[in-house]
Structure 1
């Protein structure tokens, strides 16, 4: 995002110089290519000559960029151009452009996000993702460290940006160089609440011009429930892996068959995607096959309920037991290896996805409860735990949670995320955000986000971080917007959450 828009900041600066030429009748063409150190607004008092002209142009440019970022965020929350008359599920990645123009884009985007939409409302979209990189923006001596601190401040109030770890071993690119003006092409990017597209069997390793084509999710809990009553431990595990094999094969075949249908589409059916966005689309004729182009995308095999599956098979989940954690890693490693086999068999980019189940978390549970009844620690709640997460109700520290969940990020390269719940008013504690990012760095995690409470009175605009604010303490209104995160994205009010996710929200505990 920042790299793409930076050139237009320079054009705006030059345009402001030309406007001043028209006003004063002077020739300032020698200032067009002046290298601006930073686009920071300053008072013009005491400035004369070229210094005054340059600072005026900088002030005007920064103002225009800020207004552009405001308009962009506003549009992403008001243009209902998605199916079902919804706004676009949009996400942007930024933070590593160290040019003055790129820094201006980042700074004003963060400032606009902090101010909010309209009368200070938190923007639901786009999902903003800060790309953290040592030598660029993570250490105090890094060029963009000041913007990283601003990002933490903004996240503490507005939930975004989330944080993507470019330093994770599996997110690094052998071609990345700090002096490469197009280094963003070698930086992984995340879509939405966790989708990751980077490795590529059929072309360049990059996130640019590629996407996830389809994904299907496997209910690990049901497989475990079907095997849990087998007394012989060896036979129980053989049963589990035999059934897991079956469903992995079904998922892979189904995704392949879906791809076979997707490839029959004509480029003219996707004029934007197939003219400028997808990698390799530039030379395509309007009636050409899109197979080679979209085959650079990924097919995801997701999973849900690892915690409950482990309880069914071992009696404890991976947050409670090192043995269960070892077994959990064995399961997901096995799934990763099978995905690699399917990549060879079907000639696609298969990957394992830590599914961000919203409706599925409850639907699977209801179906299994109907067939197996209420099983303590497994089907006795309204939902299954998403993917490889430690259950939200399990009391543990953020550090312990990080140690348990971190190893799964490398295995689930189709997408993953680490969540932490913090208490109190995070706006006064941006250091808490930095602490979580430090954990991401320390434990080699790929992507993280911090959840906290934020309530807002829709009548007077009063905000606080109370766990329960039903009445505004300032004006007495009951029109309260309770902002929360659901499977990675924000929901403006919990009134529209499904029963399962409301139960999960009520079960969440704070990670100290």
Structure 2
């Protein structure tokens, strides 16, 4: 097991996990030998990355469940009130376990609070004191389970995203309250699930709003645990979408626009995504055009990206077509519970179902690419900022053209590259010499460099305009040097500025160290309370919290470089 190299920080070494990894590596090699040689070569060389390669043509990536359509209400009629509540969460556990064996990525609940309240209403449950106590206990048990169950493939915890904050009835409000209170007051080791608080004026954003108290609870939890993150429903990318129809899946995945029906997240997911290594393309242009001016180098950069994007498009279409040719029987959980938009149980072809999913073209290292081509980081001048925004707009226009030409839901994804943040520069270093490679990682998506030292507000203003272009998902982070335990107003100010500047999805980062000997938490090399050196260090990596010890090489290099936004 010592030879196993994991691709993400959530994996742990076990016998079953080691066997799974050996099998996965063999499958990846086989698939690369069978698919289009150009796509395989681009992947091997590190110009692109085919994510979840072992799942190529066998399953989709992630899904936001349509919970209500297939919920077994009739079976619940015979249960007592307490058992109805308990069995609801048992049903969620079963869905998570079964789906984890049926898809390659995570699963999301678009309206965890409202869906539970609707289930309880259909089950004739009333918000009595006893039922609310039972609900609280089951929510706490559910969160315990998500944190302790590292069962998927014998090595990975379940990646679950709970969107909440909008439900205004007694049960719905109680769900949000109990989730936020329990997670916010839990120990630093509790890092799951991914909780997304939907911020919406008229519901929870303003002091007069009915759920403003829940927003305050969310801010308090974030100030201690970095969770929840915030889906800003009044920002430009989201303002024209029904807030109850939108949710975040995983670290940033956004599935909203639909060529085949209503714009909604519910019952839809990402089929697949492929990330393009922007610094590699920039390095190639730079090496061949040293004497060209910046304008010409940018023009050539666009041409080279477009050539790569066309290959990526063909690979996504091939993967989609192979997936659509499978049988409904290959997806027993989806079929039994009708979790996708459409009728999985009675469809003539899986194309009727999976056409509602997205095919995403991702990118990483925009800042490094611009630095290679212009000599400046993209946030160091208005000119380079404009060049960067123009390039991302060009990518989005291309992806929109792919959507129109192919009649499928292509989208542009601001990739959160965990494994590839280190894989790409390692491969590029074999071919090129450049300072951007030496630090050992590339910056996620359109983010400013992690050592930019920009103020929180400047970082938000810089990154905000990119959000509306990245319709496949994106996030902006603000980095604090320590937990803002007594300063939730600072987080509120950042959220307000983010809404005004077009940020769709926002996270707050800071280091959390915990002494394993005495439980002291803070930020320290040695425990100030007991002098212990056994320290667990929780950091955010590519959208989720994890133990720094298990970060990939590239992400460890990134963490060592991070500076707070002051």
TM-score normalised to structure 1 length: 0.84
1:379 is aligned to 2:437: yes
SS of equivalent to 1:129: strand
Question: Partners in 1 of 2:310 and 2:483 — Cα distance?
Answer: 47
Question: Partners in 2 of 1:160 and 1:430 — Cα distance?
Answer: 13
The 1:269/1:80 distance shift into structure 2, 3 A limit, reads: farther
Question: Partners in 1 of 2:321 and 2:359 — Cα distance?
Answer: 12
Cα distance, 1:239 vs. partner?
Answer: 2.1
In the TM superposition, 1:144-223 aligns within 5 A as: 144-173=211-240, 176=242, 184=244, 186=245, 188-223=246-281
The 1:469/1:232 distance shift into structure 2, 3 A limit, reads: closer
The 1:282/1:369 distance shift into structure 2, 3 A limit, reads: closer
The partner residue of 1:276 within 335, 338, 347 is 338
Question: Partners in 2 of 1:500 and 1:148 — Cα distance?
Answer: 35
Q: CA contact under 8 A between 1:113 and 1:122: conserved in structure 2?
A: no
1:262 is aligned to 2:323: yes
Structure 1 residues 94-141: Cα deviation after superposition (integer angstroms, max 9, x where no partner):
00111122111111111111232xxx3442221000001011100111
Q: CA contact under 8 A between 2:256 and 2:265: conserved in structure 1?
A: yes
SS of equivalent to 1:352: strand
SS of equivalent to 1:370: coil
For the pair shown, the structure with the greater C-alpha radius of gyration is 1
In the TM superposition, 1:385-404 aligns within 5 A as: 385-404=443-462
Look up the match of 1:35.
Answer: none
Question: Partners in 1 of 2:517 and 2:131 — Cα distance?
Answer: 34
Q: CA contact under 8 A between 1:10 and 1:101: conserved in structure 2?
A: no
The 1:476/1:236 distance shift into structure 2, 3 A limit, reads: closer
Question: Tell me, which stretches of 5 or more residues in structure 2 are unaligned?
Answer: 1-111
Q: CA RMSD in A?
A: 1.8
Structure 1 residues 296-328: Cα deviation after superposition (integer angstroms, max 9, x where no partner):
000110001110111111111221011111111
Question: Tell me, which stretches of 5 or more residues in structure 1 are unaligned?
Answer: 16-31, 33-38, 40-56, 177-182
Cα distance, 1:240 vs. partner?
Answer: 1.4
1:498 is aligned to 2:552: yes
SS of equivalent to 2:272: strand
SS of equivalent to 2:514: strand
Q: CA contact under 8 A between 1:9 and 1:61: conserved in structure 2?
A: no
Look up the match of 1:301.
Answer: 361
SS of equivalent to 1:137: coil
The 1:68/1:400 distance shift into structure 2, 3 A limit, reads: same
In the TM superposition, 1:348-427 aligns within 5 A as: 348-373=408-433, 375-376=434-435, 378-427=436-485
SS of equivalent to 2:430: helix
Question: Partners in 1 of 2:192 and 2:266 — Cα distance?
Answer: 21
Look up the match of 2:383.
Answer: 323
Q: CA contact under 8 A between 2:272 and 2:360: conserved in structure 1?
A: yes
Q: CA contact under 8 A between 2:378 and 2:385: conserved in structure 1?
A: yes
1:115 is aligned to 2:171: no
In the TM superposition, 1:465-480 aligns within 5 A as: 466=523, 468-470=524-526, 472-480=527-535
Structure 1 residues 427-473: Cα deviation after superposition (integer angstroms, max 9, x where no partner):
22222221221122121110000011211122322222x2x333x23
The number of aligned residues is 451
Look up the match of 1:2.
Answer: 113
Question: Partners in 1 of 2:122 and 2:237 — Cα distance?
Answer: 37
Cα distance, 1:292 vs. partner?
Answer: 1.5
* Greater relative contact order structure (CA < 8 Å, 6+ sep): 2
Q: CA contact under 8 A between 2:252 and 2:505: conserved in structure 1?
A: yes
Runs of 4+ aligned residues of structure 1 deviating over 4 Å after TM superposition are 8-12
Please say which of residues 441-450 and 453-462 is displaced more in the overlay.
453-462
TM-score normalised to structure 2 length: 0.77
The 1:431/1:122 distance shift into structure 2, 3 A limit, reads: farther
SS of equivalent to 1:228: helix
Cα distance, 1:150 vs. partner?
Answer: 0.6
